[in-house]
Amino acid sequence: MSDDRRLEVLRAIVQDYVKTSEPVGSKALLERHRLGVSAATVRNDMAVLEEEGLITAPHTSAGRVPTDAGYRLFVDRLSTVKPLSRAERTAIEQFLGGAVDLDDVVSRTTRLLSSLTQQVAVMQYPSLSRSTVRHVELVPVGGTRLMVVLIANTGRVEQRVVDVGRDLSGDELAVADLRSRINGAAVGQLLSMIPARLASVLDAVPVDDRRVAESVAAALADAAAADTEERVVLAGTANLARVGTDFPTSLSSVLDALEEHVVLLRLIGGMSTLASGEAGDAVAVSIGHENPYEPLQTTSVVATRYGVVGGLGVLGPTRMDYPQAMAAVRAVAHYVAEILEG
């Protein structure tokens, strides 16, 4: 029973500290929470929590604040993450549903997450390597040039202009036939499978169209292999200034770290992969020194995967409203996946 009670005391300390940013004392706990025990018992529980490294005294005052380990225990012991309200979910759906293309989806998603959580929102662009083909379009653009447009199921568009060695401006039937053959072989397939899938197309096209087909196949293979995973979008960096005192060293080191997009991609990508391995729509949380990149060890990251194509999350100080951030990240990821993969 004492362990359960101490967990309640820890939960109360985390909640109060997140809300007030002030160290929490036993008197304040008794005033704000119905703990059902005496002040002496609360002080004893706080002493045990401090001995276990779950809370600490930032200075000589009687108040205590959670440590990284305390936040971790708090997050791990969350039995459920309170879902967003119906009004919040409707607002998310309507805001994201108004996007006109992939770039707009990403921009709206990061702005929305930043607004919901008051943290820095981070989103990885959908990975082409895990996307499938929605449609391939072939458009003659004059002379011997042909525009090859690859549209993924996520809405991502890659296009290449190739010289096919033949003027197709007056040969709509040949273009239409090749377009039909390519879509028949490629639609619904992983982009990584395009070269193999198009091999049968090359064998079946008329000899006179073989060079055109080979040029198109090469362009599609190049588009499918485009290194688009190395893109990440941020929103809400200014939110860090609002809580600048939460960073014990320097806010500038955190801001500098946010400029390292490769680091953010590895962090968000790794955490979202971890979340995808859990049951259901799990959310991964990395707290303080759990972050492998030293300049971000004064921050916490909450992330998940949207669909099977990318990761998104929020980054902020360890004094974060974890249940609210986890609920927002999970809900937004759900709607993004519906939009991009629906």
Domains and CATH numbers, the chain: 2-76 (1.10.10.10), 86-127+229-341 (3.30.450.40), 131-224 (3.30.390.10)
* pLDDT at position 168 over 90: no
Q: Render pLDDT for 87-134 as a digit per residue (tens, 0 to 9).
A: 888 989 889 988 888 889 999 999 999 999 999 999 988 876 678 898
pLDDT average, residue stretch 181-202: 88
Q: Render pLDDT for 244-297 as a digit per residue (tens, 0 to 9).
A: 678 766 788 888 888 888 888 888 878 877 666 555 568 999 999 998 888 898
pLDDT average, residue stretch 194-211: 86
pLDDT at 48: 94
Separation of alpha carbons 118 and 73, rounded Å: 23
* pLDDT at position 50 over 90: yes
Looking at 63-72, 115-124, 161-170, 326-335, which range is the least confident one? Answer: 161-170
Burial annotation 78-116 (CB, 10 A radius, 16+ → b, else e): eeebeebeeeeeeebeebbeebeebeebbebbbebbbbb
Q: Render pLDDT for 21-43 as a digit per residue (tens, 0 to 9).
A: 899 988 888 888 888 888 899 88
Place of tokens 């500290």: 17
Separation of alpha carbons 221 and 179, rounded Å: 15
Number of Cβ within 10 Å of residue 200's Cβ equals 11
pLDDT average, residue stretch 148-158: 85
In sequence order, which ranges of 205-317 are alpha helices (DSSP H)? 210-224, 239-242, 251-258, 261-276
- Give the confidence band of 303 by pLDDT, cuts at 50, 70, 90: very high
* pLDDT at position 61 over 70: no
Separation of alpha carbons 159 and 136, rounded Å: 10
Answering whether pTM is above 0.75, one says yes
